Amino acid sequence: TCSTDSILLQNPHLPDKCLPIICKLLFAQMRQIDRTLLSEKVSQMMEWASKRAVIRMNGEKFRRLIRAPPRNYSVVIMFTALQPQRQCAVCKQADEEYQILANSWRYSNAFTNRIFFATVDFDEGSDVFQMLNMNSAPTFINFPAKGKPKRADTYELQVRGFAAEQLARWVADRTDVHIRVIRPPNYAGPLMLGLLLAFIGSLAYLRRNNLEFLFNKNVWAFSALCFVLFMTSGQMWNHIRGPPYAHKNPNTGQVSYIHGSSQAQFVAETHIVLLFNAAVTLGMVLLHEAVTSDLDIGKRKIMCVAGIGLVVLFFSWLLSIFRAKYHGYPYR
């Protein structure tokens, strides 16, 4: 064999001939080790995914199954802080949507080992947060099958919200895995609609001999006004995007109710805008009544002053919110 000293002495060029063979054997052995290690990783991930759609990870699991090669699967991880002492209400809301997304993938017919969903809680993997220089939660990051995460692999939570449908679109964009989100049945909406219809039916039945209220223009005007205020405040955007109610800075603890970008908003922000618009509308109504009503001059003056005060005060606050979100205002 090539290892025999006599043969090596007789033919000094023989090691040069054996070197490529040895390299090929070592390379093949290394590939076999990588395949074995990869198979063990995939089997471990599939075993955990079969028990829970979202795999809970700590520092050791993260380094072994995510950071260390080889890996031919993508992993979407939500970095969160769910412990009660952290007081992260947004984390709990985002976790609910994340669980819906992961379960939709886990129990779909298209489920494969191409992608897994995991979570790292700060109290269970603070070393992972330090490793990634992460100081806020919740944060969603996609770790692709090949290479390191890019900027687009970090989900823009403040812009897109944490609704499962939005997360699914982002996952499809980053991994080419399309997930059809299936939500558990929610009977609250139909129940409220049924109660509303029952209330209207009962009211119509009790007033069956006097249905003039149905032809009252003030009733319809008030209903239309409520609908307009509801829609112009951004409630439909909230329903589609599912933004957080507010944002708490993890470093300072300061709570923000107004989003600083014109591309996103908080739920609390829509409530504030709705109230401000309603106050401006009330002021306009008071001004109109002060001019057209038959009340005495003293009451009409009070209505006029109150109307002007409401319009000036709340409209100026609306402009302040607009200026905070659109940083180029006032335009020149």
Same domain, 137 and 167: yes
Is the pLDDT higher at 323 or at 128? 128
Question: Which structural domain range is residue 11 located in?
Answer: 1-48
**DSSP string over 5-74:** HHHHHH-TTHHHHHHHHHHHHHHHHHHHHHHHHHHHHHHHHHHHHHH-SEEEE-HHHHIIIIISSP--SE
Place of tokens 């995460």: 149
Mean pLDDT, residues 2-19 taken together: 53
Residues 141 and 224 in one domain: no
* Token code pair at residue 166: 């939005």
Q: How confident is the model at residue 8 (pLDDT cuts 50, 70, 90)?
A: very low
Beta strands in 149-227 (DSSP E): none
For residue 3, what is the enclosing H or E element? none
Q: Has residue 44 been placed in a domain?
A: yes
Pair (124, 102) in one structural domain: yes
Sole residue written with tokens 């939570």: 157
| Judgement on whether residues 226 and 179 belong to the same structural domain of the protein | no
pLDDT tens-digit profile of 207-222? 777 777 677 788 888 8
279 inside domain: yes
Confirm whether 205 is domain-assigned: no
Mark whether 228 and 309 lie in a shared domain. yes
Q: How far are the Cα atoms of 88, 225, 228, 241 from residue 233, in angstroms, in the given order?
A: 26, 12, 8, 14
pLDDT by residue (tens digit) across 258-278? 887 777 788 888 899 999 999
Q: Within this chain, do residues 2 and 88 fall inside the same structural domain, yes or no?
A: no
Q: Is residue 38 located within the same domain as residue 78?
A: no
Residue 21: inside a domain:
yes
Q: Do 129 and 74 fall within a single domain?
A: yes
Q: What is the pLDDT of residue 217?
A: 83
Q: Is the pLDDT of residue 24 over 70?
A: no
Name the DSSP class of 138. S
Q: Are strands 115-121 and 74-80 parallel, antiparallel or unpaired?
A: parallel
Which CATH number fits the domain that encloses residue 68?
Answer: 3.40.30.10
Q: Is residue 305 part of a domain?
A: yes
Reported as a single tens digit per residue, the pLDDT across 309-324 is 999 999 999 988 888 8
Rounded to 5 degrees, what are φ and ψ at 236? -70, -35
Q: Are residues 34 and 126 in the same domain?
A: no
Determine the 3-state secondary structure of 261 from DSSP: coil
Same domain, 70 and 35: no
Is pTM beyond 0.75 here?
A: no
Q: Rg (Cα) of the chain, in Å, rounded? A: 31
Both 162 and 237 in a single domain? no
Residue 130, amino acid: Q
Who's near 91: CB < 8 A, 6+ residues apart?
80, 81, 82, 137, 138
Residue 151 lies in a domain: yes
Residue 195 lies in a domain: no
pLDDT at 1: 45
**Inside any domain, residue 23:** yes
Kindly state whether residues 257 and 297 are assigned to the same domain.
yes
Total domains present in the chain:
3
pLDDT at 14: 47
Give the number of other CB atoms < 10 A from CB of residue 63: 14
